Structure 1
Amino acid sequence: KNKLEQLVFEYDLCVKSSVKLFEEKMRVDKLLSGFGLNNELSICKDYCNPKVLNINTFIEEMNQKFWRKFIDETDFESMLPSQLKDNFRSNIQANRNIAFNLDNLYYFYNELMNAIPDSYEKTVAKVFDDCTRRYNYTDSEWCKTTWGYDGFKSNNAFAIKNRVIIPCYIANPNSYGTQIPEIFVDLNIIFNNIAGIKNKDDLKYQGEIYKAMTNHCKKFETEHFLISTFKKGTLHIYFKNKKHLAMFNYMAGRGKAWLSEGFADKPYDDMNDSEKEIVRALGFEPEDFKQMQLLQNKRQYIKMLT
């Protein structure tokens, strides 16, 4: 059985067992009533504040638990940046009372997979904006290193070439912040997806990366980045893999509609000089762009979709 079939099998087994439980309660009720005794047997939820459940409520809650398990088993959430993750949770919440059967699971799964490319690219575009935003508009000495559309003058307005700077309050000893910046978490998720890395959470609270940030370490490495933190509360992020960075720039360009419709559908060798210049500006070498085009035609240019 595949995962979805196994989930439905487990759900059906639990529902059948629950029905038998309530049928047995009804049998005991009748038995005690026949003996002239009051029945105080109840099926309840919560030990501290017991709430008596009927069979419909019991199965409804079982239904919601298995939809939650569906999310966990398919491991979608761990691959989604924060905005897309919030949208996904809202969608699940809205559909929580739908019958938990194989047809509905496949329908929901396929709808989700079909919706991901466009919504994912728009989410990548938002992360791109968050990474490249100028966070301080004063001319004070403090913020001079945060100058520019995306951190440094070496970048251009539509592509990151080398590094970005974002706020990182856990690196500031005067701050009460305790979390790794959400922007950086999202960036890490996106680059994991581009690289085809799954089930890797290296940004845990109090983990090695967290501790390196709070200790203001310079040039420490993660899977995708070379990072330096500063006491004034900034995080300098250098990108290690130029191919992955080019892919990030490309997805952001699609999400922001900067690239014309079907831009990457045209074979690289048939592009004019202006189009080839855009490819280079995004950070691609010609052969890397051609490979990306092949994957895109199979809707696999984001490896999380394979």
Structure 2
Amino acid sequence: MSANSEKDIPVNIYRPANPFTAKCISNDVLVRPGAVGDTRHVKIDISGGDLRYLEGQSIGVVPPGEDKNGKPNKLRLYSIASTRLGDDLDGKTLSLSVKRLEYQNEAGETIKGVCSNFLTDLKPGEEVKLTGPVGKEMLLPDDPNATIIMIATGTGIAPFRAFLWRMFKEQHPDYQFKGLAWLFFGVPTDTTVLYKPDLEWMAYKHKRHFRYDVAISREQKNANGEKMYIQNRMAEYADELWELLQKPTTHTYMCGLRGMEDGISEFMTKTAAKSDVVWKDFEKQLKKDGRWHVETY
């Protein structure tokens, strides 16, 4: 039985032709002083409509204005960073983790991401048009005793923030997490560990049910004295992770930049080979069983 066979999963309550007009409540800087880049926690008021969502879903954001062809801007999808109850626990808000995209192209011009800059510049009270929600790939299983392995880079932490807040910060009569949640989080510097105080507090308070390992590529070295990437951190627990993957109640989730997939795949291939298993085949079976969830961009 799939994790979500009997769930009421909201999908496309609002469509691009008729989006929901929400309002920004707050826009807080997530990175700490000295960090490269600008990443925000944007909280949005979704009261006054029918919008609802589940942890692991994404929302469409329609930035105002037109593209270079004079057509209205297309929507961009963002993983939702809050639980279904929202950060205020009243079901009336939705939060996003957004990094401002800004880079120099080959001609030396500054290119700005249309939607990320719109969101990171949002001020309280300003409107934002939303569509969705979408996505069934990243939903949590109903089993409160499951093992949940989460692999995130950067703002890919968003759906896992929702998972962990539901597991450890909220009280639910119908859902008390008693399994193991294990987060591997890859970032360039310590100042870019998003939601760091919360993650550390949960790891301290819920030692039996939450493990948290961070890979800081520019500040830590792996066993070979090279940069510490997320797959290097996972390799330190290779045997334990492999054992967990054999359990039918273990779900693995990966979210972040698409580039992370190669490193993880290489690590998994080596780890599986130690047990004479072909990783690609094993991964296929995990996907078929609904236990390997990937959302990269």
TM-score scaled by structure 1? 0.25
Which protein has the larger Cα radius of gyration, Structure 1 or Structure 2?
A: 1
Greater relative contact order, per chain length (Cα 8 Å cut-off, separation 6+): 2
